[in-house]
Protein backbone atom coordinates (compact mmCIF):
# COMPACT_ATOMS: atom_id res chain seq x y z
CA UNK A 1 0.00 0.00 0.00
CA UNK A 2 2.94 2.34 0.51
CA UNK A 3 3.72 1.99 -3.19
CA UNK A 4 0.31 3.41 -3.97
CA UNK A 5 1.03 6.51 -1.89
CA UNK A 6 4.44 6.87 -3.55
CA UNK A 7 2.83 6.67 -7.01
CA UNK A 8 0.39 9.44 -6.16
CA UNK A 9 3.10 11.63 -4.63
CA UNK A 10 5.20 11.30 -7.78
CA UNK A 11 2.12 11.94 -9.95
CA UNK A 12 1.31 14.99 -7.83
CA UNK A 13 4.68 16.63 -8.45
CA UNK A 14 4.81 15.61 -12.12
CA UNK A 15 1.36 17.08 -12.71
CA UNK A 16 2.40 20.33 -11.01
CA UNK A 17 5.40 20.40 -13.36
CA UNK A 18 3.46 19.91 -16.59
CA UNK A 19 0.78 22.33 -15.41
CA UNK A 20 3.51 24.92 -14.80
CA UNK A 21 4.97 24.29 -18.29
CA UNK A 22 1.56 24.78 -19.91
CA UNK A 23 0.95 27.99 -17.95
CA UNK A 24 4.43 29.24 -18.90
CA UNK A 25 3.66 28.66 -22.58
CA UNK A 26 0.36 30.50 -22.25
CA UNK A 27 2.10 33.42 -20.54
CA UNK A 28 4.66 33.61 -23.35
CA UNK A 29 1.86 33.69 -25.92
CA UNK A 30 0.00 36.38 -23.97
CA UNK A 31 3.16 38.46 -23.69
CA UNK A 32 3.57 38.19 -27.44
CA UNK A 33 -0.03 39.23 -28.01
CA UNK A 34 0.37 42.34 -25.86
CA UNK A 35 3.73 43.11 -27.49
CA UNK A 36 5.84 42.69 -24.35
CA UNK A 37 8.16 40.23 -26.09
CA UNK A 38 9.31 39.79 -29.67
CA UNK A 39 8.24 36.77 -31.77
CA UNK A 40 11.69 35.19 -31.82
CA UNK A 41 12.07 35.17 -28.03
CA UNK A 42 8.53 33.94 -27.51
CA UNK A 43 8.84 31.06 -29.95
CA UNK A 44 12.27 30.04 -28.67
CA UNK A 45 11.02 30.02 -25.06
CA UNK A 46 7.96 27.96 -25.96
CA UNK A 47 9.91 25.57 -28.19
CA UNK A 48 12.40 24.95 -25.39
CA UNK A 49 9.71 23.47 -23.13
CA UNK A 50 7.53 21.67 -25.68
CA UNK A 51 9.56 18.45 -25.93
CA UNK A 52 10.05 18.11 -22.14
CA UNK A 53 6.30 18.58 -21.66
CA UNK A 54 5.56 15.90 -24.26
CA UNK A 55 8.02 13.45 -22.70
CA UNK A 56 6.88 14.01 -19.11
CA UNK A 57 3.21 13.71 -20.01
CA UNK A 58 3.86 10.56 -22.07
CA UNK A 59 5.84 9.01 -19.21
CA UNK A 60 3.01 9.78 -16.79
CA UNK A 61 0.55 8.10 -19.15
CA UNK A 62 2.83 5.05 -19.41
CA UNK A 63 3.17 4.86 -15.61
CA UNK A 64 -0.61 4.74 -15.28
CA UNK A 65 -0.76 1.95 -17.84
CA UNK A 66 1.98 -0.05 -16.13
CA UNK A 67 0.42 0.34 -12.68
CA UNK A 68 -3.07 -0.61 -13.95
CA UNK A 69 -4.75 2.70 -13.13
CA UNK A 70 -7.15 2.55 -16.06
CA UNK A 71 -9.19 5.67 -15.36
CA UNK A 72 -6.10 7.85 -15.10
CA UNK A 73 -4.61 6.18 -18.16
CA UNK A 74 -7.76 6.81 -20.19
CA UNK A 75 -7.78 10.42 -19.01
CA UNK A 76 -4.21 11.02 -20.21
CA UNK A 77 -4.30 9.03 -23.47
CA UNK A 78 -6.01 11.70 -25.63
CA UNK A 79 -3.37 14.31 -24.78
CA UNK A 80 -0.60 11.78 -25.35
CA UNK A 81 -2.10 10.89 -28.73
CA UNK A 82 -2.39 14.58 -29.60
CA UNK A 83 1.27 15.13 -28.67
CA UNK A 84 2.42 12.12 -30.71
CA UNK A 85 0.38 13.27 -33.69
CA UNK A 86 1.82 16.80 -33.51
CA UNK A 87 5.34 15.42 -33.24
CA UNK A 88 4.91 13.04 -36.18
CA UNK A 89 3.50 15.81 -38.38
CA UNK A 90 6.35 18.15 -37.31
CA UNK A 91 3.86 20.71 -36.01
CA UNK A 92 4.96 20.63 -32.38
CA UNK A 93 7.30 23.62 -32.63
CA UNK A 94 6.10 27.17 -33.17
CA UNK A 95 7.46 28.87 -36.28
CA UNK A 96 8.67 32.44 -35.78
CA UNK A 97 7.32 33.63 -39.11
CA UNK A 98 3.80 32.25 -38.58
CA UNK A 99 3.39 32.85 -34.87
CA UNK A 100 0.97 35.77 -35.23
CA UNK A 101 -1.36 33.89 -37.55
CA UNK A 102 -1.43 30.89 -35.20
CA UNK A 103 -1.61 32.85 -31.95
CA UNK A 104 -5.32 32.39 -31.14
CA UNK A 105 -5.28 28.69 -31.98
CA UNK A 106 -2.15 28.07 -29.93
CA UNK A 107 -3.67 29.91 -26.95
CA UNK A 108 -6.83 27.79 -27.18
CA UNK A 109 -4.76 24.60 -27.26
CA UNK A 110 -2.81 25.70 -24.19
CA UNK A 111 -6.04 26.61 -22.34
CA UNK A 112 -7.52 23.18 -23.06
CA UNK A 113 -4.31 21.54 -21.84
CA UNK A 114 -4.37 23.62 -18.67
CA UNK A 115 -7.98 22.61 -18.02
CA UNK A 116 -7.12 18.94 -18.50
CA UNK A 117 -3.99 19.14 -16.36
CA UNK A 118 -5.93 20.96 -13.63
CA UNK A 119 -8.60 18.24 -13.68
CA UNK A 120 -5.86 15.65 -13.49
CA UNK A 121 -4.28 17.54 -10.58
CA UNK A 122 -7.54 17.56 -8.60
CA UNK A 123 -8.10 13.84 -9.16
CA UNK A 124 -4.51 13.05 -8.18
CA UNK A 125 -4.79 15.17 -5.06
CA UNK A 126 -7.93 13.28 -4.04
CA UNK A 127 -6.33 9.90 -4.74
CA UNK A 128 -3.20 10.91 -2.81
CA UNK A 129 -5.19 11.81 0.29
CA UNK A 130 -7.40 8.73 -0.01
CA UNK A 131 -4.48 6.34 -0.42
CA UNK A 132 -2.58 7.97 2.46
CA UNK A 133 -5.59 7.60 4.77
CA UNK A 134 -6.14 4.01 3.64
CA UNK A 135 -2.47 3.28 4.20
CA UNK A 136 -2.63 4.65 7.74
CA UNK A 137 -5.79 2.70 8.55
CA UNK A 138 -4.47 -0.56 7.09
CA UNK A 139 -1.15 -0.14 8.88
CA UNK A 140 -2.71 -0.24 12.33
CA UNK A 141 -5.49 -2.77 11.58
CA UNK A 142 -7.48 -1.22 14.39
CA UNK A 143 -10.05 1.49 14.05
CA UNK A 144 -8.88 4.90 15.01
CA UNK A 145 -10.41 6.22 18.20
CA UNK A 146 -10.51 9.96 18.25
CA UNK A 147 -12.25 10.28 21.57
CA UNK A 148 -14.98 12.49 20.16
CA UNK A 149 -17.80 9.92 20.19
The pLDDT score that the predictor gives to residue 145 is: 56
- The Cα 84–Cα 120 span in angstroms is 19
Asked whether residue 146 is assigned to any structural domain, the reply reads no
The answer to whether the CB of 140 falls within 8 A of the CB of 9 is no
Using DSSP's 3-state secondary structure scheme, residue 99 falls into coil
Q: Quickly state the pLDDT bin for 26 (edges 50, 70, 90).
A: very high
Asked whether residue 108 is assigned to any structural domain, the reply reads yes
- The Cα 40–Cα 22 span in angstroms is 19
The pLDDT score that the predictor gives to residue 35 is: 87
Asked whether residue 60 is assigned to any structural domain, the reply reads yes
Q: Quickly state the pLDDT bin for 149 (edges 50, 70, 90).
A: very low
Judge whether residue 21 has pLDDT over 60.
Answer: yes
Asked whether residue 64 is assigned to any structural domain, the reply reads yes
Q: Quickly state the pLDDT bin for 143 (edges 50, 70, 90).
A: low
- The Cα 130–Cα 29 span in angstroms is 37
Phi, psi of 124 (to 5 degrees): -65, -40
List pLDDT tens digits, range 121-142. Answer: 999 999 999 999 988 887 665 5
Asked whether residue 148 is assigned to any structural domain, the reply reads no
Asked whether residue 144 is assigned to any structural domain, the reply reads no
List pLDDT tens digits, range 49-108. Answer: 999 999 999 999 999 999 999 999 999 999 999 999 999 999 999 999 998 999 999 999
Number of structural domains found in the chain: 1
Domain of residue 22 covers 2-138
Asked whether residue 100 is assigned to any structural domain, the reply reads yes
- The Cα 29–Cα 35 span in angstroms is 10
- The Cα 74–Cα 54 span in angstroms is 17
The answer to whether the CB of 41 falls within 8 A of the CB of 97 is no
Contacts of residue 24, Cβ cutoff 8 Å, sequence gap at least 6: 45, 49
Asked whether residue 149 is assigned to any structural domain, the reply reads no
The pLDDT score that the predictor gives to residue 144 is: 52
More confident residue, 146 or 51: 51
Across the range 2-20, mean pLDDT stands at 94
Amino acid sequence: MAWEVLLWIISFFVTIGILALAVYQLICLSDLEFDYINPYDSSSRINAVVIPEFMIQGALCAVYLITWHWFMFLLTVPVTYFHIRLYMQRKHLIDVTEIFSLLNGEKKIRMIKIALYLTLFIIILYRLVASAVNSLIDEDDVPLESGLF
